[in-house]
Amino acid sequence: MSKVFHKLLPMPVHSLMLLVVWLLLNGFSVGQLVLGLFLAWLIPFLTFPFADHQSKAGKPFKVLMYFLRLVKDIILSNIEVALRVLYRNRSLQPGIVAFPLSIRADFPLTVLASSVSLTPGTVSVEFSDDRCWLYIHVLHLKDEQQLISEIRQRYEQPLREIFSC
């Protein structure tokens, strides 16, 4: 029974998300609901064979906490970078930092790299090919060790808990 269910609806979470986004974009009506249900079934059904099965995120509460912290960090440090662009231009001290990674899986690494890029002052540039290091370009580098431990504690540790890896 569950096998048949899995065949018919291979990615239930994706289907639900597709339906919700469809209804949000097109407004709620019975016609849109039927069309949305059909598409939410059809698209995952057709694309399931191509999907690259990544590590799954668990613990929705922690995901929410991570998201809120990210938003707060983006806003606070954007203000800092804005001030730096406006005033302290001459004393700018850019730098490169090699960040030693402790997660290996693709999807968590992507999330980590994107978080690092979104929080201002840092842009993730490149991974080493053994996936042990993430190279980060920093707009104003004061203390390398402090930056590394900050990223580790604020982003990497929660991500390891979320993806349990």
Partner 1 sequence: MSDYLIAALLIVGGLFIFVGSLGLAKLPDFYTRLHAPTKATTLGIGAVLLASVAVTAARDGTLSIHEIVISLFLFITAPVSANMLAKAALHKKVPMCDNTRNQDLKAHMAHQKAPDSE
Task: Return the structure tokens found at 141.
Answer: 């580098």
Please state the φ and ψ torsions of residue 53, each to the nearest 5 degrees. Answer: -80, 110
If one asks whether residue 75 binds partner 1 (CB under 8 A), the answer comes out as yes
Q: How far is the CB of 34 from partner 1 (least distance, A)?
A: 20
In angstroms and rounded to an integer, the radius of gyration of the C-alpha atoms of the chain is 21
Do 17 and 31 form a contact (C-beta atoms < 8 A)?
no
Q: What is the DSSP letter of 129?
A: T
Q: Which of 89, 143, 145, 146 binds partner 1 (CB under 8 A)?
A: 89
Q: How far is the CB of 11 from partner 1 (least distance, A)?
A: 19
If one asks whether residue 74 binds partner 1 (CB under 8 A), the answer comes out as yes
Please give the distance of CA 39 from its chain centroid, rounded to a whole number: 26
If one asks whether residue 22 binds partner 1 (CB under 8 A), the answer comes out as no
Where along the sequence are the contacts to partner 1 (CB under 8 A)?
Answer: 21, 24-25, 74-75, 78, 81-82, 85-86, 89, 92-98, 113-121, 123-130, 132-133, 135, 137, 139, 141, 144
